[in-house]
Structure 1
Amino acid sequence: MTFKTKLMLITILPLITVSILIGSVSYFQARRLIEIETHSVEQRILATKRQEIRNYLNLALTSIERIYEGEPGGRAAAQESVKQILHNMTFGEDGYFFVYSLDGTNLVHPKLAHLVGKKWWDLQDPEGDFVIRNLIETAQNGGGFHEYVWHKPSTGLVEEKLGFAIILDKWNWMLGTGLYTDDIAREVAAIRADFSESIRQTVIVVFAITLVAIVVAGLLIAGVRFSEQRFADSKLKELTNRIFEVQEQERKRVSTELHDSISQLLVSVRYGIEMIQSEASRTPVLRGYADKCMRILDGAISEVRRISRDLRPSVLDDMGLATALVSLGKEFETHSGIKVDVSPERTHDRLSDSAKTALYRVVQEAMTNVARHSGATHVSITLVVGRHTLSLTIEDNGRGLPHPLPQGGGLGIRNMRERMETHDGFLQLRNMAEGGTRIRVTMPLNKTSERAA
């Protein structure tokens, strides 16, 4: 597991865990509050309905009080008058009063006329409750409320109802009324749905905030990582550039030592051998040894000069990149037998010395690869200097690059890329359609010299 992955996990996993915990706790706490709140609302509504039922029943008692107490025209007449008054007293869409005798016979029912005059002592609702029997029992116990299921006139359905019954002792009647409570269930369900929606939105907000936090954390980590990587790349580029500079300085020092010291010593020795050679003309054996030493010494001088030139070509410092490339092409053609065409444009002062050296080393490495691996018979080197960039192209007619190319290429290709990247350049290798390899280098020129260009 990479360090970046570990850092992401260390940062994001706690966020996810905390968010899940917060969301879960919030959800269950909210569900608990919903139950408490809906129960409280239900009790408040029931209390309101109970008080409303009491008020209606008190109103009915007030309406029949004078007739019930005085019994004008006799008890039978008074009872008929009371029945008529209660039959006519309705409230709301489904509110009415009902009267039963203590044996369960219905005396008044404005909504269900078929019940009147019949005994309903054993009547049960769909849930098995003995409605009339329990209402009469509740009334006989001092009056009170009783919940049951009953036919609702406005809908024709059977709904839950809260009834209240009292006893008219003088006549042995049970007087009652009630209100349907299905609206309470709907109101509680609506409140529950509203709370549930609020919980859902809260959970969504929590997880949305978590997602945003994760994204922000990821971006910050990526930004830090990218910044660190850029910093590391810049330091690596500086280190690579410094290594190349040290290499070139050391090569230049060694080249100078070879040219100015070792080469001069060898030349001095050569002068001495020439003198010995002239004096030994009368001795054939000594003359042969002198000629042999002269040939070995000439070879040594040539090898020292070649090594010195390879380490640091003096023509690059003295005449510039274009002339150095021409010289390199001629020398390569002489030693390898491969024809080389060089078409360079002068860069003047638009390239730093280190950039010129880097380009020269790239061409040198490319020519070495051509001689070793390509089997080419012709190489073309083109250097084009534009307004803002320089373009260097090296083409050969050899067998081309292997496919697929090894990761990163060989050591030489990696060195070429690193040299170019050190100077913000770009190196591209590809096989040409007609055969052979093309290496293209693009490098920015010095901005301070664009006006002069």
Structure 2
Amino acid sequence: MQLKYKIVTLSVLPLIVSVLFICVLVFAQSQKLEEEQAKLIESSILAAKQAELKNYIELASSLIAPLYDSGKNDEATKNQALDILARANFGVDGYFFVYTREGKNLMHPRQSSLVGKDLLGMTDKNGFPVIRALLESAQHGDGFQRYAWEKPSTGQVTEKLSYVVMLDQWGWMLGTGIYIDDVEVATKKSREEVASGVLTTVLAISSFALIAVLVVFAGGLMLNFTEHRLADRKLCALNQRIVNLQEEERSRVSRELHDGISQQLVSIKFQFELACLELQNGQGNGLENLRSGTARLGDAIGEIRRISHDLRPSLLDTLGLSPAIDQLVAEFEQRTGILTHYERSIGEPLGDKNISVTLFRVIQEALANIERHSRASIVIISLLDAKGAIALRIEDNGVGFDPGLMDKSQGIGLRNIRERVDHHLGSFTVSSSPGSTEIIVEIPIQRA
């Protein structure tokens, strides 16, 4: 996976997981809230209906109160009371009913087929013993009972709530009821409202999450595009620096070959030609010119060896780092006249051959900078083994410079040192003041 996709994934994935967790939590809480609200609505409606049923029973009791309180227990009085209750209807489906203690129906204004029948063992569609439960509730309970019964207005069996009381003097059970299918409608509506609210909330969260994901995605793409352009610019600058370094190195080698060795070889050629002419003509100084040309040829060979050594020291490949540094220090001291002291306490060979090349190039670059800019008279080079790392310290007593201007400088020497050290995950520090400049390099190492 490319880096830009990794960044976008790491940014978007936690957001998506968080939104999913929030949605699941909202659904769970909504289910709980839905049940609690449905129960609250149902209980409040039932409480209102229970109070309404009590009022209806009180009304019915007041209608037959003169007959009941008269103390008469004859059939005529009872029939008169039953006739009053049969006419006392309320609403479309509201009526009163009367049963004996034994479960015999005495009055039912909406289902006359039940009158006179023993209904103690009657059950509803769910197998619930309706009359038996009503008698039990009237005699020993609160008088309220729920069961399924046929609704007169629709002819369909519907949930019903009844309230019954005992008229002990006559041995009657007087009751009435209200069909509570509207309770189911109200609770269903409440559940639908809660579900609709939850859906709206989830959609809102999802919309905001989608917008956030798009913003993060767009931001990630913009960031990646910006970083990509910045990386391209840095890469172009690095490529240009490499090209410039190559051209500078080629120019240096070309200049040294043209101004040094080429001139010497041309001069030696002329001197050998002159010696040949003198020897052919029998002149006595021909042999001397030949010897002089041979000596100068040796100097040219030494110059070629020096250039070759600057490009790649052979001792570094054959004998190792310390002999190569010894030779580099000796040549530097001989060429510049600067007193150079080199001390070391490292073993050979190092674990990584490239580290040896890096250390050698760091010392070579530092000595070149000292020769060009420092006007120093003493240089101290220390190469020490420091607990799993190699510590290189180069100090001189030159004029110094401002390390803060190192990155702004057009020179590439110190930057080359830093890049070489960074390649090995090492550390590079420079401190300088008039009379002292110090370079410290530490490179972690694992010996074979």
User: For 1:161, what is the secondary structure of its paired residue?
Assistant: strand
Q: Deviations over 1:67-104 (max 9, x none)?
A: 322379x8433323322221111222211111122232
Q: Deviations over 1:7-59 (max 9, x none)?
A: 33332332233222222222212212221221122111111111111111111
Aligned to 1:39: 39
Distance 1:47 1:59 in 2: 19
Matched, 1:190 2:189: yes
Matched, 1:70 2:70: yes
Shift of 1:256: 8.7
Matches within 5 A, 1:62-141: 62-70=62-70, 75-141=74-140
Q: What amino acid is the match of 2:207?
A: A
Shift of 1:250: 6.9
User: Is the Cα contact below 8 Å between 2:163 and 2:175 reproduced in 1?
Assistant: yes
Aligned to 2:209: 210
Q: What amino acid is the match of 2:161?
A: L
Shift of 1:200: 2.7
User: Is the Cα contact below 8 Å between 2:151 and 2:158 reproduced in 1?
Assistant: yes
User: Is the Cα contact below 8 Å between 2:86 and 2:107 reproduced in 1?
Assistant: yes
User: For 1:125, what is the secondary structure of its paired residue?
Assistant: coil
Q: Deviations over 1:151-186 (max 9, x none)?
A: 111111111111111111222111100111221112
Matches within 5 A, 1:15-414: 15-70=15-70, 75-141=74-140, 144-244=143-243
TM-score by length of 1: 0.53
Q: What amino acid is the match of 1:23?
A: C
Shift of 1:261: 9.6
Q: Deviations over 1:104-124 (max 9, x none)?
A: 222221111211232222212
User: For 2:176, what is the secondary structure of its paired residue?
Assistant: strand
Shift of 1:191: 0.9
Distance 2:124 2:132 in 1: 11
Distance 1:260 1:125 in 2: 123
Q: What amino acid is the match of 2:171?
A: N
User: For 2:99, what is the secondary structure of its paired residue?
Assistant: strand
Distance 1:141 1:25 in 2: 46
Shift of 1:145: 0.8
Shift of 1:210: 2.9
Distance 2:222 2:267 in 1: 65
User: For 2:40, what is the secondary structure of its paired residue?
Assistant: helix
Structure 1 residues 86-95 or 14-23, which shifts more?
14-23
Structure 1 residues 216-225 or 255-264, which shifts more?
255-264
Distance 2:140 2:265 in 1: 139
Distance 1:113 1:127 in 2: 23
Shift of 1:237: 2.2
Aligned to 1:8: 8
Shift of 1:249: 6.8
Q: Deviations over 1:230-265 (max 9, x none)?
A: 111112223334444566677778889999999999
Shift of 1:272: 11
Distance 1:105 1:271 in 2: 152
Q: Deviations over 1:415-437 (max 9, x none)?
A: xxxxxxxxxxxxxxxxxxxxxxx
TM-score by length of 2: 0.54
Q: Deviations over 1:253-303 (max 9, x none)?
A: 888999999999999999999999xxxxxxxxxxxxxxxxxxxxxxxxxxx
Q: Deviations over 1:384-410 (max 9, x none)?
A: xxxxxxxxxxxxxxxxxxxxxxxxxxx
Distance 1:130 1:254 in 2: 116
User: For 1:44, what is the secondary structure of its paired residue?
Assistant: helix
1:266–1:195 distance in 2 versus 1, CA, 3 Å: same
Q: What amino acid is the match of 1:47?
A: A
Q: What amino acid is the match of 2:124?
A: D
Distance 1:250 1:48 in 2: 102
Q: What amino acid is the match of 2:52?
A: E
Shift of 1:3: 3.3
User: Is the Cα contact below 8 Å between 1:104 and 1:120 reproduced in 2?
Assistant: yes
Structure 1 residues 172-181 or 230-239, which shifts more?
230-239
User: Is the Cα contact below 8 Å between 2:137 and 2:144 reproduced in 1?
Assistant: yes
User: Is the Cα contact below 8 Å between 1:143 and 1:167 reproduced in 2?
Assistant: no
User: For 1:175, what is the secondary structure of its paired residue?
Assistant: strand
User: For 1:93, what is the secondary structure of its paired residue?
Assistant: coil
User: For 2:205, what is the secondary structure of its paired residue?
Assistant: helix
Distance 2:14 2:140 in 1: 64
User: Is the Cα contact below 8 Å between 1:89 and 1:96 reproduced in 2?
Assistant: yes
Please, what is the CA RMSD of the aligned residues? 3.9
User: For 2:98, what is the secondary structure of its paired residue?
Assistant: strand
User: For 2:117, what is the secondary structure of its paired residue?
Assistant: coil
1:257–1:138 distance in 2 versus 1, CA, 3 Å: closer
Q: What amino acid is the match of 1:201?
A: T
| Percent of residue pairs identical | 41
User: For 1:91, what is the secondary structure of its paired residue?
Assistant: coil
Residues matched between the structures, number: 287
Shift of 1:202: 2.4
Matches within 5 A, 1:411-422: none
- Note the residue ranges of structure 2 that are not aligned, 5 or more in a row: 276-448
- Note the residue ranges of structure 1 that are not aligned, 5 or more in a row: 277-453
Structure 1 residues 200-209 or 180-189, which shifts more?
200-209
Distance 2:29 2:269 in 1: 103
Q: What amino acid is the match of 1:12?
A: V
Q: What amino acid is the match of 2:7?
A: L
Distance 2:137 2:257 in 1: 127
Distance 2:113 2:52 in 1: 28
Distance 1:246 1:173 in 2: 118
1:272–1:106 distance in 2 versus 1, CA, 3 Å: same
Distance 1:134 1:275 in 2: 146
Distance 2:106 2:121 in 1: 16
Distance 1:258 1:108 in 2: 135
